[in-house]
Amino acid sequence: MAGSMDQQTPDTQPRPVVTVLDSTHRAEADVRIAMYREALRIRLVEDEIVARYGEQEMRCPTHMCIGQEAPPVGVSAHLQPQDYVFSAHRSHGHYLAKGGDLKAMIAELYGRATGCASGKGGSQHLIDMDAGFLGSAPILASTISVGVGAAWAARRRGEDRVVAIYFGDGATEEGAFHEALNFAGVNRLPVVFVCENNLYSVHSQLDMRQPAHRTVKEIGPVHGVEALSGDGNDIDEVWRLGRYAVERARSGANPVLLEFFTYRWKEHCGPLEDGHLGYRSEEEIESWRKRCPVTTYAQRLSEEQVLGDEAAQAMRAEIDAEVAQAFEFAKSSPFPELAELDRDVFPGRGAI
């Protein structure tokens, strides 16, 4: 089956890959500053959602990515405008890092007509076709197979396009994940699978759900997908592994699975803290907070004299203004017309 498909595809000969995994390698200063800026921007957007969620004007379920800013920032730094990104329920960072429109995202959370899904999708259904963010959907692993399909289409059309697909550790327990990996591995599709392993699926620990001593990374090679893992709270490390993976994928050498260890600070869904629930300890939460991807990176850039205090403050003021404008835009936008209700919706049995 794989052989006959290969015969239909355009040239699939891998090109040489020049990137090496040198642990001392760092991005240029301007790229590191841009990555810090994007991580801070994601954090400040999330903080504002948290601050305003209780006003009950954002009525959609919302999964915060606070604490998990490094993977989207470090991977997207290597993506081109024509590349695609797919994501799942915890997708704000992925959308923003790929260049998704902030105003349209906030308007979507407020259910307004100016939202990126016309106000009908909410936080879990973000999309920005212009930015190459082809969408988030909360059915676990569903966008993994759609993303692999997009990579297959790109290959068949001879397009230079890498597809980055983000998902959590819980999604790796879905059959669709394994089928998608296998198909991408067999056909050497230009895909970077990015697993944000935050150790939990809702309130279940990883070691209650998956075999002891078998990491997510180890699933890659059995499906013909090269795999690497690293510190998902370290922007430089994510950048380094992301660079290797995107180049491997783009060259046609092979798809790559990246497993990044990171941590969600807030409750599974919503803006609150959840240490009192008892499924994880306050000590564990605190230990990860101390390794905040945004502040630790700010400190490193300051120590290495890449970013000075004044420039950092100016950057923050700029982002604060942008975030405030996005919320003003959302709140002053109209709700969708009633006629929007069944537009862009597939009619099923019993639909109006």
Residues 75-94 touching ligand TPP, rule: CB under 6 A, are 89-90
In the bound state with Mg ion, the residue whose beta carbon lies nearer, of 193 and 200, is 200
In the bound state with Mg ion, the residue whose beta carbon lies nearer, of 84 and 260, is 260
In the bound state with ligand TPP, the residue whose beta carbon lies nearer, of 37 and 280, is 280
The binder of 62, among ligand TPP, Mg ion, none, by C-beta within 5 to 8 A per type, is none
The binder of 38, among Mg ion, ligand TPP, none, by C-beta within 5 to 8 A per type, is none
Q: How many residues bind ligand TPP (CB under 6 A)?
A: 15
Give the DSSP per-residue string, 96-122: HHTT--HHHHHHHHTT-TTSTTTTSS-
Residues 267-296 touching ligand TPP, rule: CB under 6 A, are 268
Q: Confirm or reject binding of residue 71 to Mg ion (CB under 5 A).
A: no
- Residue 304: CB minimum distance to ligand TPP, A: 31
- On whether the CB atoms of residues 62 and 316 are closer than 8 A, the answer is no
Query: Which member of 169, 234, 236, 247 binds Mg ion (CB under 5 A)?
Result: 169
The binder of 138, among Mg ion, ligand TPP, none, by C-beta within 5 to 8 A per type, is ligand TPP
Alpha carbons 84 and 113: distance in angstroms, whole number: 25
Alpha carbons 331 and 265: distance in angstroms, whole number: 27
Alpha carbons 97 and 38: distance in angstroms, whole number: 7
- On whether the CB atoms of residues 237 and 230 are closer than 8 A, the answer is yes
- Residue 170: CB minimum distance to Mg ion, A: 5
**Cα distance between the two ends of the chain:** 41
In the bound state with Mg ion, the residue whose beta carbon lies nearer, of 152 and 167, is 167
Residues 138-197 touching ligand TPP, rule: CB under 6 A, are 138-140, 167-171
* Phi and psi at residue 22, to the nearest 5°: -100, 115
Sequence-distant (6+) residues with CB within 8 A of 333 are 107, 110, 112, 113, 114, 115
- On whether the CB atoms of residues 172 and 206 are closer than 8 A, the answer is no
Give the DSSP per-residue string, 153-169: HHHHHT----EEEEEET
- Residue 89: CB minimum distance to ligand TPP, A: 5
Instruction: Produce one character per residue of 157-190: b if its CB has 16 or more CB atoms within 10 Å, e if not.
Output: eeeebbbbbbbbbbbbbbebbbebbbbbbbbbbb
Per-residue binder mask for ligand TPP (CB under 6 A), 196-215, x = binder? --x-xxx-------------
What residues make contact with ligand TPP under the rule CB under 6 A?
Answer: 89-90, 138-140, 167-171, 198, 200-202, 268
What residues make contact with Mg ion under the rule CB under 5 A?
Answer: 168-170, 198, 200
